[in-house]
Structure 1
């Protein structure tokens, strides 16, 4: 009887997981299938029908002169790389200071900074826009990256908790060998934190690869247009050509899938490290 109940429970859990997987993956499958259809096929067949035959002409056209999707990809890649470098550098420095250095008001300052996680992004959009406009940075590359360059509350919190778990004896041994704070960070703390840093890097890349609201507000025209705003422009400018729009979304997702497949082992390892101490 117990074995029968256990099997029923396993079957129910499996069915729930399969349903969740279908709901999660269905939009991506539909996006790829629509991108592989011609405009005539999309208009003449049901939305859920597979392309017959599949075509790559939408992806080819996306990178042609009519749509010029290369520039948004290049701008997005530049923004992500600069923000990633800044996030890793300044988040490591701030997290180590909050975790290991002693100074007055350290904990109060940390929790006050962490409380900004509760503030929605839309609340800060107008003040940031006014600041960038007054500084003459509106519709520039630096306007896209400066609000995110110097770390984030989530990143600092994540790294601080990990740095606090590093044995103090290890840091003391490095100091006895004559290492200062910078050398300890470079040769002890960072190497011991590679899995969590890789996870933070992946989260940062995904977040800013998909960032939409701030680029939409602070930029205009096509010079500093990122992929999300370029795709939104396709939806409004070419509203009847959904295969092109789906080709753009598919192209946008592919680098993130590759990134996850490359670093999935380190991400799982970081979850194991942070979850079982």
Structure 2
């Protein structure tokens, strides 16, 4: 009983530590400037105000949300499509240098993204794609090493006899992929989709570097823009954080079962 009580106390403390930053975001977003300076950060302002959110939405922040949603949708669709093709080739098709090419590609995961950021920007500048949607999307549209590795390992775990039976019936590679392997790969594809949505929505560094105009600015860059030369508007910044956080909370509530399954799946070979 003592061990169980200690365990639950530790879990409660861990939950409070995890939730506390989000609680501060909500409390700060619903305070006025006067309440913010006269109350402690963890004390709610009474009465709460939605003036910060109203001021935020009238500042053009809604367009940034739309841009982030569009970027996330396009990148998720591209990741699922091109990653699936590449993973199927590495897992099932036989060609010279397959293993060497695959492990060289996976080895790029060990290279920090900050190392490739400047060369990638120079490439986009030479292609005249700076501050364009193509420049924003291309580096992540055609798959990532992690996504290809995840799908490839899942494909390799499926029974090869299914494909052999399909080939006997006259099915080609694309028929086998779309009608046999993909229906069995929904857990892995759900995992990849969830990871891509979260990483795309929260992506900050690359959109900050490649975009400069309001027509391509995403929500993370828009929130950072509330820090001006004079100072920081904490109420407006936290209101932006709250609005940007809500879609992720909705996704977590709606797909909680799949998120838990993705955690289990990513821990397997």
Match of 1:193 among 185, 195, 211: 185
Following TM superposition, the consecutive aligned residue runs of length 4 or more in structure 1 with deviations greater than 3 angstroms are 237-240, 269-277
Identify if the C-alpha distance between structure 1 residues 45 and 213 changes in structure 2 by more than 3 Å, giving closer, same or farther. Answer: same
Match of 2:140 among 108, 133, 148: 148
Alignment pair present for 1:28 and 2:38? no
Gaps of 5+ in 1: 1-6
Identify if the C-alpha distance between structure 1 residues 274 and 72 changes in structure 2 by more than 3 Å, giving closer, same or farther. Answer: closer
Paired position in structure 2 for 1:87: 79
Paired position in structure 2 for 1:43: 37
Gaps of 5+ in 2: none
State the Cα RMSD in Å. Answer: 1.7
Matches within 5 A, 1:1-277: 7-64=1-58, 67-236=59-228, 239-272=231-264
> Per-residue deviation at 1:240?
4.4
> Per-residue deviation at 1:176?
1.9
Verify the 8 A CA contact 1:36 1:56 in the aligned structure 2.
yes
> Per-residue deviation at 1:11?
2.4
> Per-residue deviation at 1:15?
2.1
Identify if the C-alpha distance between structure 1 residues 273 and 129 changes in structure 2 by more than 3 Å, giving closer, same or farther. Answer: closer
> Per-residue deviation at 1:50?
0.9
**Matched position secondary structure for 1:54:** coil
For 1:240 and 1:97, locate their aligned partners in 2 and report how far apart those are by CA, in whole Å: 50
For 2:230 and 2:26, locate their aligned partners in 1 and report how far apart those are by CA, in whole Å: 18
Identify if the C-alpha distance between structure 1 residues 166 and 16 changes in structure 2 by more than 3 Å, giving closer, same or farther. Answer: same
Verify the 8 A CA contact 1:206 1:256 in the aligned structure 2.
yes
Identify if the C-alpha distance between structure 1 residues 237 and 225 changes in structure 2 by more than 3 Å, giving closer, same or farther. Answer: farther
* TM-score of the pair, normalised by structure 1: 0.92
State the aligned residue count.
269
Give CA deviations for 1:228-262 in whole Å, capped at 9, x if unaligned: 11000012367343111101001111101111221
Identify if the C-alpha distance between structure 1 residues 123 and 188 changes in structure 2 by more than 3 Å, giving closer, same or farther. Answer: same
For 1:97 and 1:114, locate their aligned partners in 2 and report how far apart those are by CA, in whole Å: 14
